[in-house]
Amino acid sequence: MTNESRIAAPRLAAFVTRAFAAAGLPEADAKIIAELMLEADLRGSDTHGVIRLPLYVRRIRAGGINPQPNIRVVGERPSAALIDGDNGMGHLVMRRAAHLAIEKAKVTGIGWVGARMSNHAGPAALYATMALPHDMIGLYFAVGSNNHLPPWGGSETLLGTNPMAVAVPAHDEPAIVLDMAPTVAAYGKVRLKAQRGEPMPVGWMIDRGGKPLTDAKRADDGYLLPIGDYKGYGLSLIIGILAGALNGAALGRDVIDFVKDTGKPTNTGHAVAAIAIESFMPAEKFKRAVDAVIRDIRASRRLPGVERIYLPGEQSHAKFLERSTGGVPMPKPLRDSLDALARELNVPPLE
């Protein structure tokens, strides 16, 4: 085995598939999840792709995720539906939800599908972008899988880094894809700083006294800060309501930490919506207008020292192109954890 730093996506997907199959998932489901996880890695979501595989498997083996769920629509109207994920993998639940939202949008112009009893589903962009090939705008909201954010002025973490994504198709340009959490820093970035022994910038977290917290190793004693102060708090709450409360999923005090409580269902909630552009104008005209906005922004005057102005999702798109041919980065710690997983599951390791 060479200590390679890149690995071709299909080989990695094959490994993820056999790991899930060994953990008890039907082969077809394992393959679907593997493809979505690889898409995350290809798009540069290094903290939300294959790196999560050992945790997912740990949760499945601990009884915290149902490997063979009966995912079903439990409520339906022409433009809306509610899906019960039966505690299955979030990727399966939200792929189904996105497809249903798109089908509804084809008929009525808009589709909005909520889900409860789901699980972590990887990066938000995965499901918002499913609308793009259908000439639709995609929206996605989720309740984060643990609470790290207090209300503004508070010191109890009742809210999460609840993510949202919006994907807008362009004609010749890459789609605009905004994928963000309403906190200044993602918790994954905090963990990375702690691993590396580096200080965090002021503004990422505060301690229990409300003072800036820069020692990432003390993150458990502090709180993430929302973007725009009370605005990010409001966004997190609203996203939590749309994705969680509206669907009968967990929000606030009911959210468990999916890393620590591996044996319990999270009752994770999400929502995905699709807006058919043809309801408002010809899709081609819209996409050309989006191209024009993209080009105006990219070519606009820059502040001193700024080399390039990026559109939301543009850097992910560039990574996708580069990694699709060059392979997915495979740092040694990730490789080691996947090798350990292979031994644990008694499946052939990553080749």
Looking at residues 211 to 240 of the shown chain, list those that interact with its own copies (rule: CB under 8 A).
227-228, 230-235, 237-238, 240
Judged by CB under 8 A, the stretch of 48-56, 149-157, 317-325, 335-343 that binds its own copies is 149-157
Is 210 one of the binding residues for its own copies (CB under 8 A)?
Answer: yes
Q: Return the CA Rg of the chain.
A: 20
CB of 88 to its own copies, least distance (A): 19
Q: Are 91 and 37 in contact (CB under 8 A)?
A: yes
Residues 66, 68, 74: CA angle, nearest 5 degrees: 85
CA 101 to chain centre: 18
**In 10 A of CB 262, how many CB atoms?**
18
75, 82 in Cβ contact below 8 A? yes
Number of shown-chain residues binding its own copies (CB under 8 A)? 79
Residues 50-109 close enough to bind its own copies by CB under 8 A? 75, 77-82, 107-109
HEC secondary structure over 274-300:
EEEHHHCCCHHHHHHHHHHHHHHHHCC
Find the part of the chain contacting its own copies (CB under 8 A) among 26-34, 147-155, 192-200, 321-329: 147-155
| CB nearer to its own copies: pick between 32 and 128 | 128
| Distance of closest approach, residue 293 Cβ to its own copies, in angstroms | 5
CA 347 distance to own-chain centroid = 27
With helix as H, strand as E and coil as C, how does 248-269 read?
CCCCHHHCCCCCCCCCCCCCEE
Q: What minimum distance in Å lies between the beta carbon of 44 and its own copies?
A: 15
What's the closest the beta carbon of residue 237 comes to its own copies, in angstroms? 7
197 lines the binding site for its own copies (CB under 8 A): no
Q: Measure the CA–CA gap between 257 and 91, rounded to whole angstroms.
A: 18
C-alpha distances (whole Å) from 194 to each of 48, 53, 220, 221 are: 18, 21, 11, 13
Q: Which of 10, 26, 133, 154 binds its own copies (CB under 8 A)?
A: 154
Q: Compare residues 125 and 126 and give the one whose CB is closer to its own copies.
A: 125
CB of 110 to its own copies, least distance (A): 4
Tokens of 118: 């789901």
CB of 253 to its own copies, least distance (A): 6
Nearest approach, Cβ of residue 39 and its own copies (Å) = 20
Least distance to its own copies from the beta carbon of 48, Å? 17
**Under rule CB under 8 A, residue 251 binds its own copies:** yes
Residue from 51, 60, 166, 256 binding its own copies (CB under 8 A): 166
What span, in angstroms and rounded, lies between the C-alpha atoms of 160 and 143? 7
Interaction with its own copies in 282-321: which residues (CB under 8 A)?
Answer: 286, 289-290, 292-293, 296-297, 300-306, 308-312
Which residues does residue 82 pair with via DSSP β-bridges, in sequence order?
75, 114
Which of 21, 124, 242, 341 forms a contact with its own copies (CB under 8 A)?
Answer: 242
From first CA to last CA, the distance across the chain in angstroms is 8
Instruction: Work out which of 85, 252, 265, 327 binds its own copies, going by CB under 8 A.
Output: 252
Please identify which residue in 15, 20, 56, 112 interacts with its own copies, judged by CB under 8 A.
112
- Quick check: 182 binds its own copies (CB under 8 A)? yes
10 Å Cβ neighbour count for 263?
Answer: 11
Q: What tokens does 347 get?
A: 């499946």
